[in-house]
Amino acid sequence: MSKNVKMVQSITSRNVDFAQWYTDLCLKAELMDYSEAKGFIIYRPYGYAIWENIQSYLDKKFKETNHQNVYMPLVIPESLFQKEKDHVEGFAPETAIITTTGVEVLSERLIVRPTSETLFCTHFAKIVNSYRDLPKLYNQWCSVVRWEKTTRPFLRGKEFLWQEGHTIHASENEARTEALNMLEIYKTLGEQLLAIPFVTGRKTEKEKFAGALETYTIEALMPDGQALQSGTTHYFGQEFAKAFDIKFQNVDNQSEYVYQTSWGVSTRLIGAVIMVHGDDEGLVLPPYVAPNQVVIIPIQSQNEDVQQATNQIYENLKAQGIRVFIDDSNKSAGWKFSEYEMKGIPVRIEIGPRDLEKGHVTIVTRYNREKSQVNVDEVALKMPDILKDIHENMLKHANDYVSTHTYVAKTYDEFKEYLKQGGYVQMSISGEDAEIQIKQETGATARIVPFDQTLFTNTCPVTGKKATQTVWFARAY
């Protein structure tokens, strides 16, 4: 198959088969490719560049809030991994294990890190003596391995890229605040970079992280009505500190265990961006996370006026730090339009001689595919506002979708009815008994326990017992 024929028509429509549309898009927009190792994907340049923009945003925020980057080993000796009981139970089945080298069987098996709490804890125990050594606010960028049975690009893989923050504190209050502050940074990432309105809250006992006292989450709603857990922060209390003996002398000179958190987001965020914003023409990237924000396509690129306007606009955009490139290849304009719509580039500028005669160029915004004429001298000047408008409109659109797909159920029948329509269903339930029954009977899981609690009914519609808390349910990835 020649590379010059764009097979736009071969993308499955979202309405026909959402899952297939997603996979088609991941491959055809050249975000990723499958590798020879089953369940492990290749992050191609375009997909990796999205991750780099997410990294750059978060790394800055982490450093502004006094976090420091470190790097822990890829492997965890099996005996170390088994030190915290709940943690190992949660992760052991899905670990990949190194048992041998090219020449000799290892005396102790090494777990490829599925997450690094145990490594951080051992190190913390060595370097902390006094309250003056606290807090330690560490983060690492790396990949982790979890042996998932069914995998989907970016959403669930045997290996994924992420950041994992690990912090220890001298007080419970400070640690709890850290876990909530980092949740807020994740939520802001959604609003400022990804144009995704995350809803936030606590996880139920049943859904929380292995070993955590509290898990907080950001959840995004996909156009198929399913929720996607997009990042979590955990408050561990002193459980790991006790298992790993991380003690410090407090201000009163008493020996005390530290209070701990961890938090992470992963390349799963790329999956969220694809699904929340994409359409049947391909990717639609929010401008601030897009690797390329503007593509300039000269029509009749031999024309001198066109060349001059193209270069001038390019230079002026570049000078403002806007990520822009020119495609003056000899491919057809139609091919280019399709290609860059598939790639989801937020703004396309078409520069043709007829437009130029009237002193303007044509701008097409990807998310709504609207065309407008802009004065050739004003394009660069207006571009920051155009990008801002796109971002705000995309966020608003996504916000509206969440609003119109969030329901309150006062009976179990209502619950089931809303669930069919897709989205979040809020219900006031008795507890884990109701949660388990709902999951078994409807497939929906508890996504969040919202921070602001309102009871909609006095009794639980599922168990008939007293309602104790309101929970947001949804089917989920």
Per CB under 8 A, residues contacting its own copies are 1-4, 33, 35-37, 40-45, 48-49, 51-52, 68-77, 80, 91-103, 110, 112, 119, 122-123, 126-127, 129-130, 132-133, 138, 142-143, 145, 147, 159, 161
Backbone angles phi, psi at 473, to 5 degrees: -110, 155
Report strand pairing: 324-326 vs 370-375. unpaired
In angstroms and rounded to an integer, the radius of gyration of the C-alpha atoms of the chain is 25
User: Cβ closer to its own copies: 17 or 94?
Assistant: 94
User: Cβ closer to its own copies: 146 or 203?
Assistant: 146
User: Cβ closer to its own copies: 75 or 476?
Assistant: 75
Q: Rounded to the nearest whole angstrom, what is the least distance from the CB of residue 125 to its own copies in the complex?
A: 11
User: Cβ closer to its own copies: 130 or 411?
Assistant: 130
Residue that the structure tokens 């017992």 belong to: 465
Q: Which helix (H) or strand (E) holds 219?
A: strand 214-221
Closest alpha carbon to 336 in 1, 2, 4: 4
Q: Rounded to the nearest whole angstrom, what is the least distance from the CB of residue 123 to its own copies in the complex?
A: 6
User: Cβ closer to its own copies: 74 or 180?
Assistant: 74
Q: Rounded to the nearest whole angstrom, what is the least distance from the CB of residue 55 to its own copies in the complex?
A: 11
User: Cβ closer to its own copies: 142 or 408?
Assistant: 142
3-state secondary structure of 75: strand
Q: Rounded to the nearest whole angstrom, what is the least distance from the CB of residue 126 to its own copies in the complex?
A: 7
How far is residue 406 from each of residues 107, 201, 399, 455, measured CA to CA in Å?
54, 15, 11, 16
- 257, 169 in Cβ contact below 8 A? no
User: Cβ closer to its own copies: 145 or 374?
Assistant: 145
Specify the DSSP class assigned to residue 20.
H
Instruction: Give the type of residue at 264.
Output: G
Report strand pairing: 360-365 vs 347-351. antiparallel
Q: Rounded to the nearest whole angstrom, what is the least distance from the CB of residue 48 to its own copies in the complex?
A: 5
Q: Rounded to the nearest whole angstrom, what is the least distance from the CB of residue 439 to its own copies in the complex?
A: 23
- 232, 198 in Cβ contact below 8 A? no
How far is residue 243 from each of residues 167, 169, 258, 399, measured CA to CA in Å?
16, 16, 11, 43
Q: Rounded to the nearest whole angstrom, what is the least distance from the CB of residue 80 to its own copies in the complex?
A: 5
